[in-house]
Structure 1
Amino acid sequence: MRKKFWKLHSWLGLVCGLGLLVIGLTGSVLVFHQEIAKTLHPDEVLNAPLSSDSQRLATSELTTRVEKAFPDFWIRGWLFNTDSEYRDRAYLMKRDTDDWYVLYIDPYTAKTSERPLPYDETIYGWFVRLHYTFFADHWGMGIAAFFALGYIILGVSGIYLHRPFFKALFRLRWGASARILFSDIHKAVGIATVPMNLILGITGAYWNIAHIAHELIEHAHEEEEPMANEYAGTTERIDSLSAIAEQSIPGYALNYIYFPTEEEPMFYLYGQHPGASSFRSLYGSTIWVSAETGEVTHSSDLREAGFWAQVTDAFEPLHFGSFGGVTTQVLWCLAGLSPSILSLSGTLIYIKRGRRKKGRRTATAQPSRPSQQRIPCETT
């Protein structure tokens, strides 16, 4: 059984190695994407310095200014930044297209980026697409899900193969052969990061598989999704959404609005219930509000949701390590680097082991030298 696990672990590591390296490195960047954007593009993502009397402008005023400044676009979603240092993000769609753009806007001054950016041109959007889809849309999501499942199997098989892990965790035999040193590094890194890696693998695989399953179900019932058209009465009701949400879920923190369309005249609100723990996402409690009547047609308080809904809502802080502040983010960032080390060390171990076996076979195949070799005499 142990030999079979070795083969499974080795071959799966070779097959998934490069993909996991890309996913791990991009994941490490995404953990600190806001801090990276703040350093590289402070004028674009940061608000102006706030004074003691600074107040957010009304959302209707912000949306009106955005649409006047960029008449070729219309707003599909609005992300309220929970950190006052960073700007809000408006998600726009270019008219008569299905192309998505992002615009950063200061909610206190209404100052915006110079232009809406295609989603892939933002640091976050570029790394997200590479991390989850390898720039291959749904096919890429399937491939990423396969690598995530492989990562889970690698973690479980690694635990089985190195059950007395405490003996190998801090042992690095620098004076030994390269194969032994690579093996020690591989075991130490794998064992130290296995809890985080299992979390990353399970949450990532779930998201991608759930998305693919949703798309398959949707396409089975719809021949072709029509192009969305702007709903004309968005601005008239948008400022009342917070009050409507408060009546539905007292203490509700509104974090994201998905705007209505002519085909679907509904505001979709995503936020948090009051007193939400750090293991809760920013979007776990949802409210649907009719854009035509202002009536709440659906309300879901995460506190009253089922067990599985609460588990999957915790996946976001668990996946990005945000539940423990900077400390867990640093740990998750380091865990994201581990696939690179494991892929490299595992490949080197495989190569060294292959050369060693080849050397043994060659030595066995050579005939032993006789003690006395008879040389036939040449006759004339």
Structure 2
Amino acid sequence: MSKKKLFKLHSWSALLAMIPILVISITGSIIVFKPEIDAWLMPDSVTLTQVSSERQSLNSLIDSIHTQLPGYELGTWEVFDDKQTADAVYVIKRGSFDWFKVYLNPYTGAVLSQPVVLDHYFTDWLVKLHYTFLLKDAGVFVGLLSAVILLFLGISGIIIYRQFWKRFFTLRWDKQMRVFFSDFHKMVGITASPVLIILAITGGYWNLAEFVGEVTQTHEQERFVIQSHRYSQAISFDALNLDAMQRIEGFKLTYLVFPYKPGVNISFRGAVPTANPLMSDYSSGASYDRTNGEFMVKWDIRSSGLGAKTLDSFINLHFGTFAGLTSRVLWSVLGAMPLFLAFTGFYLWYSRRVKKQVSKRNRHALSYA
């Protein structure tokens, strides 16, 4: 494909997906700092103060949740053991399959908030907007298409401006606005392209997985209603956690999955010591039978193949958490660059369009002169 044709395709693709990509980039740049925003907006629910004790046992906490929320069943559980952050517990209302979120003090067993829908809090609403455009399954598909277009824009931009290094730091202030915007568009685009490509690949993969999962979901699961515990009351979750720690060296629990629907068993997911900063806090774990607690399978990212490690790295790569605050700030700033690229790109496209129309009218006038 010629450079001219690629440039046209690049321009029209950007115009086609401009609005959804702007929504994704702006919300994503904010979500990078979700923990800090939550702590600021909801200090009484999210932030723990003056914690001097150790976490209560899982069995004790589970009993405490059922006592305080008798009309709900446990779905999933985000575990934080830093004496500063409350656990986030996701529960399902009995007689339905409606999910709600509560915050839990794991050191006292107190539920710190009332059950609310998953997009009740501001940052959770932003996540839903970022992920689905508030359009449910259709929004997941729109997000997938937007990610594909963003990936194309990043790659095609690098190809079109592959000799960018010759004038990379050049901004011709003394020229026309169109020239300055052209220089600025190239500089910002080339700088942000590597991060935008990473975001497109990782986000697009998750949207694809979610979309395929929704399409292939069985009718039985669609009609499923939870009525009571879907695991044996004789199971000790503390014993299962200890078993996972013994089977996986250095395992630290960060996420617990309950058997909330058909086909789902009990899963302990967590982090393990590794020199690879791209490995997530959910990289390893073990699953157990929901009826008797028998061990089923384990996975340790340190002994996994390249494919598993690559997919697990998507979490830290997408949210920029692999190098602490530095990478998060960088991801937030570069992730917002489509805002500037959209403005400058639209201006350049409109300028070229006006210029062509003026030239066409001039040629038309000369033909009748």
User: Counterparts of 1:250-269 in structure 2 under 5 Å?
Assistant: 250-261=249-260, 263=262, 266-269=265-268
Deviations 1:135-163 (A, max 9, x none): 12222111101010101110111111111
2:312 paired with 1:313? yes
**Structure 1: stretches of 5+ with no match in the other structure:** 371-380
1:230·1:262 contact (CA, 8 Å) conserved in 2? no
Could you say which residue in structure 2 is the equivalent of 1:89? 88
Structure-1 separation of matches of 2:351 and 2:333: 27
* Structure 2 letter corresponding to 1:346: G
Could you say which residue in structure 1 is the equivalent of 2:224? 226
Could you say which residue in structure 2 is the equivalent of 1:160? 159
Could you say which residue in structure 2 is the equivalent of 1:337? 336
User: Counterparts of 1:179-198 in structure 2 under 5 Å?
Assistant: 179-198=178-197
2:290 paired with 1:291? yes
1:60·1:235 contact (CA, 8 Å) conserved in 2? no
Structure-2 separation of matches of 1:171 and 1:38: 42
- What is the number of residues matched between the two proteins? 367
Structure-1 separation of matches of 2:312 and 2:237: 26
* Structure 2 letter corresponding to 1:294: G
User: Counterparts of 1:7-156 in structure 2 under 5 Å?
Assistant: 7-51=8-52, 54-156=53-155
| TM-score for both structures, normalised by structure 1 | 0.91
RMSD (Å), alpha carbons: 2.1
Distance 1:251 1:148, change over 3 A: same
* Structure 1 letter corresponding to 2:44: D
**Structure 2: stretches of 5+ with no match in the other structure:** none
How much does 1:88 deviate? 0.6
How much does 1:122 deviate? 2.1
Structure-2 separation of matches of 1:78 and 1:223: 21
1:168·1:187 contact (CA, 8 Å) conserved in 2? no
* Structure 1 letter corresponding to 2:224: P
Structure-1 separation of matches of 2:9 and 2:82: 46
How much does 1:276 deviate? 5.8
How much does 1:123 deviate? 3.0
1:234·1:291 contact (CA, 8 Å) conserved in 2? no
% identical equivalent positions? 34
How much does 1:213 deviate? 2.1
Structure-2 separation of matches of 1:18 and 1:75: 38
How much does 1:235 deviate? 7.6
* Structure 1 letter corresponding to 2:32: V
Distance 1:247 1:295, change over 3 A: farther
Structure-1 separation of matches of 2:164 and 2:32: 28
Distance 1:222 1:265, change over 3 A: closer
Structure-2 separation of matches of 1:160 and 1:316: 28
* Structure 2 letter corresponding to 1:77: T
* Structure 2 letter corresponding to 1:302: I
* Structure 1 letter corresponding to 2:23: V
* Structure 1 letter corresponding to 2:25: G
